[in-house]
């Protein structure tokens, strides 16, 4: 977390490595993960020819035919060894691809249509066009809208989202809707009614006489809602900080965090070294930056996740949580940092406590205004080129209008719609290396929302070079669809 004005050149805000972790690239053929994958092979025994101490004065020269036979025999042995090695490698590659395609029938960002085996892109879900053989992509389309978590269901007929009338609604239906958004039922929080806004003219309403038990076949479009209330649904208790009052009343920069202050913040390690930050959104899912998991870091098994711990040294005493799957945004661009977001799924679910809690994803319809107070947190360096710090720090940064960030004297058009700017044009306070992937949050309606993930910047805390973050309001739909597809 930078608090010093030093104007160094452009940097990609990847996790900064302590000491010389990135000082030199591995040699060709070097093992990138020495701790996890051993490259040691059995040593070849050394053959020392025996030299006779008693040698005749007239040694007999070997015949040419004998030498030819030995040479031919050696060549055959070499060919056999090479063929054997190639066969072993070929079998290993074939086994890998068989496993990969069995375990990942839908590659990349594609989502499987139920059990049919048909794979379609995430953009084809809930678009009003039936692409799955059984229509799964259009039949179970639900979302939460606005800061009050209004439950809305998509009608493929009218291609419109409608709020759900509270008439005859129960928690059992709420759990079904949450499950279809990718949440586990054990995190279900509540379902209740809230007064319908005057702008609501049509609703999705339960048909109690329908014999089919499927929720979505029971819902029908209606212009009347007897209760006058629509369903507000909370699938998980998110955005709660035990120290929220202290945060709001003290807006200062560069403070050391306390336990429970940012309970969604996690530290992502490779080989006992902090690389990036991340944010908890469910017991199993984390949000981080796509640039944190590029290249050799795309392997989920090299990562360890630490939650509810503020000090990096304390993390070395714990094994952390293992990562089962990494999903980077399919349209992430490594050069422009467009769509710089990724999901991590843990092998074992987190246990929620006062110090380990999820942050809320922003719902569709939510707008965050310029100058809105946000907070960043992380273990990043305190100046460009510095080392990561031992204790979690945080600082308040206001949102900056995109047009301002795209002006010639700031970032000259580099800030895309998938990004948001936050910080101070005069410099002095900013995110820095090691903060990558970590949260940019704001408090609205007494709930903490994930506005963005730390992405990139020019220098750290340099004048006219504020921090740039992934725009989470753009990514929410993609996150839910991948959570649903990878339950």
340 is a catalytic site residue:
yes
CA distance 293 to 299: 8
- Say how many CA atoms lie within 13 Å of 346 toward its Cβ: 24
Choosing from 167, 180, 340, 430, the catalytic residue is 340
Determine contact, residues 457/467, Cβ cutoff 8 Å.
Answer: yes
> CA-based diameter of the chain, in Å?
118
291 is a catalytic site residue:
yes
In terms of Cα–Cα distance, which of 217, 174, 223, 175 is closest to 196?
223
Choosing from 191, 241, 328, 436, the catalytic residue is 436
Tokens standing for residue 249: 């009343």
Q: Quote the radius of gyration of the chain (alpha carbons, Å).
A: 29
Choosing from 137, 267, 274, 291, the catalytic residue is 291
Residue 453, Cβ neighbours under 10 Å: how many? Answer: 28
Tokens standing for residue 187: 């995190």
CA distance 406 to 196: 39
Active site amino acids: 291, 340, 436
């Amino acid at each position: 977390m930078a608090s010093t004005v030093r104007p160094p050149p452009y940097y990609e805000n990847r996790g900064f490595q302590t000491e010389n972790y990135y000082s030199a690239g591995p040699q060709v053929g070097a093992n990138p993960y020495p701790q996890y994958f051993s490259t040691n092979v059995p040593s070849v025994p050394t053959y020392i020819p025996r030299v006779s101490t008693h040698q005749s004065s007239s040694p007999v020269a070997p015949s040419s035919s004998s030498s030819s036979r030995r040479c031919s025999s050696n060549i055959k042995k070499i060919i056999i060894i090479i063929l054997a090695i190639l066969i072993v490698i070929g079998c290993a590659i074939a086994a890998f691809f068989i496993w990969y395609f069995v375990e990942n029938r839908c590659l990349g960002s594609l989502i499987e249509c139920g059990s049919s085996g048909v794979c379609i892109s995430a953009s084809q879900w809930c678009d009003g066009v039936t692409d799955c053989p059984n229509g799964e992509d259009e039949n179970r389309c639900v979302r939460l809208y606005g800061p009050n978590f209004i439950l809305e269901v998509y009608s493929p007929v009218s291609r419109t989202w409608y709020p759900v009338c509270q008439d005859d609604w129960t928690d059992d239906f709420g759990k079904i809707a949450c499950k279809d958004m990718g949440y586990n039922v054990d995190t279900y929080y509540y379902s209740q009614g809230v007064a319908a806004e005057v702008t609501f003219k049509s609703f999705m309403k339960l048909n109690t006489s329908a014999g089919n038990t499927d929720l979505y076949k029971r819902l029908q479009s209606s212009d009347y809602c007897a209760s006058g209330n629509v369903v507000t649904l909370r699938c998980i208790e998110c955005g709660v900080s035990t120290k929220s009052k202290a945060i709001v009343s003290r807006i200062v920069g560069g403070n050391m965090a306390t336990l429970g202050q940012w309970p969604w913040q996690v530290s992502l390690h490779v080989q006992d070294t902090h690389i990036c930050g991340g944010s908890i959104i469910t017991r199993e899912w984390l949000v981080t930056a796509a640039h944190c998991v590029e290249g050799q870091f795309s392997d989920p098994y090299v990562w360890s996740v630490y939650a509810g711990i503020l000090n990096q040294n304390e993390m070395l005493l714990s094994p952390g949580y293992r990562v089962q799957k990494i999903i980077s945004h399919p349209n992430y661009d490594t050069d422009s940092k467009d769509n710089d977001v990724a999901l991590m799924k843990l092998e074992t679910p987190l246990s929620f406590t006062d110090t380990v809690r999820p942050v809320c994803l922003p719902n569709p319809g939510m707008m965050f205004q310029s100058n809105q107070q946000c907070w960043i947190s992380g273990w990043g360096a305190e100046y460009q080129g510095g080392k990561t710090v031992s204790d979690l720090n945080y600082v308040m940064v206001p949102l900056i209008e995109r047009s301002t960030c795209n002006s010639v004297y700031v970032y000259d058009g580099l800030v895309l719609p998938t990004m948001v700017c936050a910080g101070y044009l005069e410099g002095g306070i900013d995110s820095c290396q090691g903060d990558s992937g970590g949260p940019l949050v704001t408090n609205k309606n007494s709930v903490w929302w994930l506005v963005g993930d730390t992405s990139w910047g020019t220098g750290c805390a340099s004048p006219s070079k504020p921090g740039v973050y992934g725009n989470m309001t753009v990514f929410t739909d993609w996150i839910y669809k991948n959570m649903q597809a990878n339950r």
